[in-house]
Amino acid sequence: MIQRETTVGRTMSKRGAEGILILGFIGIGLTLGLALLKAPSVSINAFESPDAQRIFYWHVPAAWAAFIAFGFLFVGSAMWFFKRSNLGWRMHVAGAEAGLATGLITVWSGMVWGAAEWGVPWDWTDVRLNTFGLLTFLALFLVLGRQSQPDGVETRDTFSTFGLYGFVLVPVTYVATRLWQIRHPGPVVGGGDGGSLAGEMAIILLIGAISFTVFIIGHILMSMRITSLEQRLERIQKSMDKV
Amino acid sequence: MTDALLNLNSVTVRRGMKTVLSNLNLQVSSGQVILFNGKNGEGKSTIIEASAGLIPLEVGSVHHHGELLIDESGKGGKPVHPFGLTLQADGCMGSQRIEEHLHNTMDITGSRIEMDSILERYNLKHRKHDLIAQLSGGQRRKVAMIAGVLPGFVSTKPRLIFLDEPDSGLDQASRTSLIEDIHYLRQKGHAILISSHNKEFEKCATHQYNIDGMVEIDQESTPEIVRDEMPQQPSKGVIALRNGVVCNNRTMSTLAYNGIAGFLTLGILLALVDTTKLDTGTIQKSGLILSSAFAAGLVGDSMVQMLHEHRSLAWWKAHKQGIPSSYIHGSILGFALTLLTQLAMDLPISWELTIIGSILTTSTMFIVRMFDLTSARLARPRAAFTRILTPTLILPFALLVQWVTDSNLI
């Protein structure tokens, strides 16, 4: 009976993660639809390319979700490094993968907007742009690097170290537009006077933020489950090696 | 604790996903020779490497001569009394001469002796000036083994000597000489740890250690070996820096490795950009002048590649005397590339900018080297894609170029 309940519980938790991920996907799609079809147009005096601004309803929530993922990565890295927690390692792996996915969405959408508004997709002297790009590169390094190594304390220690150091970039990226306002737009929410949104724009952005948050939670849960299954498979294979 | 030369206190070590040593306590005193002769995978090499401070500890601490070498939090210091170390993978670079590697060992120990008599015993005297890369596997093993026992010959005070499979690939005559040398070093009061399956070492071991525990071996009847004391000569300092310069001079690796990237960048930029149309004081012009120096640094430090040979990096790390680098050659290369770029662009030479180019190559090389060294503990360090992290250097480079432009250095 206990065995059956555990199996049912696992199946429900697996389906729960899948459900959250699918819900997040639907929300992300809805945000894109609302951004393109419903969001009000911005002033043609304020932007070179006003229509391109619609991509921000994706760009900003994706960046928000990426910060959540990088937070997971940092907490997971610290939990593994200082406490040798297997849960911490799974959080590290999940945070890196989710950070890579949302980081790439942020970078790609930002480049599309930059090409339309600035005339160039990338500006090497813009600090936020570059620090965010570097966070995405760090996530890429952690994902590809981990896949190239056998699992073990050496692998986990090394990549956790990079995860811990890399997190320094998160607060730098967050405050970058306040400290070095070169070309990157300042904060749209909580940025003080003149930077806030109102009305329909804020609602669509909120839907985007909630959707990406749901997506990132689903992604992290799925990823942690996959890592857990990989570890289980390895334990079974090792026990079969001894027979 | 202070009486023992080596103390392993409740040491637990994990390698891969396996706990190889669990709560190991071991004390080794002056004049003891401990032979680890357990089965494969029982942790013989792990004990040697943990004792030398090479492996991070999950739990416990390692003390040498009563002083902390490493503990579970990674704290520790330089060994107060440097030790001898022979790694299973030799730990010597192919680009070094035999005498250079042995001089390094002696310089770390604190003084030099004439090494010819020792080399002669192992039939290596005629090869003294040869590169280690030119030796056979067995000869290279002899060099690694001699480097391990040499601190015992040099030091008049008891030292720790760690020998991991020292007999592997050695001929019978060399094995006999090694056993005699171990007898001699034990009688001088040194403490020696040997990992080997070879039963011949029971002739010189005072203790045998395996999974069942420690067993004492009687060596009372061994006759005393008398040898003339070797005259001591002063050692030479800056060991890591010296080795970096010597290896770079010999192999020209910085020129081949970093220089080619710098020259190619310069050539491509000069071919694609009409430099006469770039206004002085623009970010493009400053960036172009510094690009080749930056590209040269991005390649990393060629010494790290050489140090991966036969786990030489682990040997240097264990002794904590610094790790050879290419910084001097890197700074010269950066200086030359920035100067050449200005000449090729027909600009008046800015010496400030040329020095900035030199510092740029060295600092970029330093950071990429840090990425490489951080990932050196991985099972497959060269497959870790550390170069993905090099874009982290583009922002500082862009800010430097902006500063150079604003400062009117061109």
Provide the total of helices (H) and of strands (E) in chain A, helices listed first.
7, 0
> CA triplet A27, A31, A35: central angle to 5 degrees?
175
What secondary structure letter does DSSP report for A211? Answer: H
CB B74 within 8 A of CB B97: no
Flag whether B67 is in a domain: yes
Report the residue of chain B nearest A155, measured CA to CA.
B378
Please say which residue of B184, B206, B234 terminates a domain: B234
| Cβ-defined contact of B375 to A137 (cutoff 8 Å) | no
CB B362 within 8 A of CB B331: yes
* B270 has a chain A CB within 8 A of its CB: no
CB B20 within 8 A of CB B12: no
What sign does the dihedral B210-B215-B219-B225 (CA atoms) show?
Answer: positive
* A50 has a chain B CB within 8 A of its CB: no
* B12 has a chain A CB within 8 A of its CB: no
> CA triplet B344, B349, B353: central angle to 5 degrees?
100
| Cβ-defined contact of B380 to A148 (cutoff 8 Å) | yes
10 Å CB burial of residue A238 (0-12, 13-18, 19+) is exposed
Q: Which two tokens stand for residue A52?
A: 């391109």
| Cβ-defined contact of B385 to A141 (cutoff 8 Å) | yes
Helical (H) or strand (E) element with B218 = none
CB B47 within 8 A of CB B24: yes
Q: Are residues B75 and B158 in the same domain?
A: yes
Residues 6+ apart with CB under 8 A from A221: A16, A17, A20, A21, A94
Q: How far is A63 from chain B (nearest CA, A)?
A: 19
| Cβ-defined contact of B15 to A153 (cutoff 8 Å) | yes
What sign does the dihedral A18-A20-A22-A28 (CA atoms) show?
Answer: negative
Helical residues (DSSP H) of B110-203, grouped into ranges: 116-121, 137-154, 172-187
Q: Which two tokens stand for residue B230?
A: 């070797």
Q: Are residues B172 and B230 in the same domain?
A: yes
CA distance linking residue B258 with residue B267, whole number of Å: 14
Q: Are residues B253 and B157 in the same domain?
A: no
Considering chain B, what percentage of its residues have pLDDT values greater than 90? 70
Q: Are residues B217 and B244 in the same domain?
A: no
Residues 6+ apart with CB under 8 A from B358: B293, B331, B332, B334, B335, B338
| Cβ-defined contact of B375 to A158 (cutoff 8 Å) | yes
CA distance linking residue A197 with residue B191, whole number of Å: 74
Question: Tens of pLDDT along B56-66?
Answer: 999 999 999 99
Q: Are residues B224 and B261 in the same domain?
A: no
Higher pLDDT: A231 or B331? It is B331
Mean pLDDT (whole number) for B86-105: 95
Phi, psi of B49 (to 5 degrees): -70, -35
* Domain hosting residue B387, numbered range: 240-406
What's the pLDDT at A222?
92
What's the pLDDT at B1?
46
B273: left (phi over 0), alpha (psi -120 to 50) or beta: beta
Report the residue of chain A nearest B371, measured CA to CA.
A162
* Lookup result for tokens 């489950």: A225
Nearest to B380 among A131, A149, A162 (CB): A149
Q: How far is B54 from chain A (nearest CA, A)?
A: 12
* A142 has a chain B CB within 8 A of its CB: no
Mean pLDDT (whole number) for B67-88: 90
Mean pLDDT (whole number) for B195-216: 89
CA distance linking residue A168 with residue A170, whole number of Å: 6
Nearest to B389 among A137, A150, A158 (CB): A137
Flag whether B25 is in a domain: yes
CA distance linking residue A199 with residue B192, whole number of Å: 78
What secondary structure letter does DSSP report for B97? Answer: B
Distances (CA, A) of A215 to A12, A17, A84, A140, A209: 18, 10, 28, 19, 10
Q: How far is A127 from chain B (nearest CA, A)?
A: 7
Q: Are residues B259 and B124 in the same domain?
A: no
Higher pLDDT: B45 or A46? It is B45
Please say which residue of B199, B219, B234 terminates a domain: B234
* B33 three-class SS: strand
What's the pLDDT at B193?
97
Flag whether B1 is in a domain: no
Helical (H) or strand (E) element with A31 = helix A2-37
Q: Are residues B246 and B207 in the same domain?
A: no
CB B37 within 8 A of CB B217: no
What's the pLDDT at A7?
56
DSSP lists the bridge partners of residue B36 as B195, B209
Q: Report the number of distinct structural domains present in chain B.
A: 2
Please say which residue of B213, B234, B255 terminates a domain: B234
Closest CA to B322 of B244, B235, B234, B236: B244
CA distance linking residue A158 with residue A154, whole number of Å: 6
What secondary structure letter does DSSP report for B389? Answer: G
Phi, psi of A151 (to 5 degrees): -70, 140
10 Å CB burial of residue A1 (0-12, 13-18, 19+) is exposed
Q: Are residues B227 and B254 in the same domain?
A: no
What sign does the dihedral B18-B21-B22-B23 (CA atoms) show?
Answer: negative
Question: Tens of pLDDT along B264-276?
Answer: 999 999 999 888 8
| Buried b or exposed e, range B346-377, using 16+ CB within 10 angstroms | eeeebeebbebbbbbbbbbbbbbbebbbbbbb
CB B174 within 8 A of CB B14: no
Higher pLDDT: A18 or B337? It is B337
What's the pLDDT at B225?
80
Report the residue of chain B nearest A151, measured CA to CA.
B16
Q: Are residues B230 and B337 in the same domain?
A: no
Q: Are residues B306 and B190 in the same domain?
A: no
Flag whether B66 is in a domain: yes
Q: How far is Cα of residue A130 from the mean position of the Cα atoms in its chain?
A: 16
| Cβ-defined contact of A154 to B377 (cutoff 8 Å) | yes
Mean pLDDT (whole number) for B117-142: 94
Rg (CA), chain B: 25
Nearest to A124 among B384, B388, B394 (CB): B394
| Cβ-defined contact of A145 to B16 (cutoff 8 Å) | no
CATH number of the domain to which B185 belongs: 3.40.50.300
Residue B210 has pLDDT above 90, yes or no: no
Q: Are residues B226 and B261 in the same domain?
A: no
Closest CA to B49 of B59, B62, B67: B62
Query: What ipTM was assigned to the predicted interfaces of this complex?
Result: 0.76
Scanning A65-94 for CB atoms below 8 A from B yields 84
Return mean pLDDT, chain B: 91
User: If you count them, how many residues does chain A have?
Assistant: 243
> CA triplet A33, A34, A37: central angle to 5 degrees?
80
Q: Are residues B56 and B157 in the same domain?
A: yes
Indicate the domain borders of chain A.
Answer: 57-185+218-243
Nearest to B379 among A84, A125, A154 (CB): A154
| A234 contacts on B by Cβ (under 8 Å) | 17
Q: Which two tokens stand for residue A136?
A: 């995405």
* A144 has a chain B CB within 8 A of its CB: yes
* B137 has a chain A CB within 8 A of its CB: no
Per-residue pLDDT for chain A (243 aa), expressed as one digit of tens each?
445 555 555 555 667 888 999 999 999 999 999 998 988 877 667 677 778 888 989 999 999 999 999 999 999 999 999 998 999 999 999 999 999 999 999 999 999 988 888 888 888 777 778 888 888 999 999 999 998 888 888 899 999 999 998 887 777 776 766 666 556 666 555 555 545 566 788 899 999 999 999 999 999 999 999 988 988 888 888 788 766
Strand B191-195 relative to strand B33-36: parallel, antiparallel, unpaired?
parallel
What's the pLDDT at A127?
76
CA distance linking residue B386 with residue B330, whole number of Å: 20
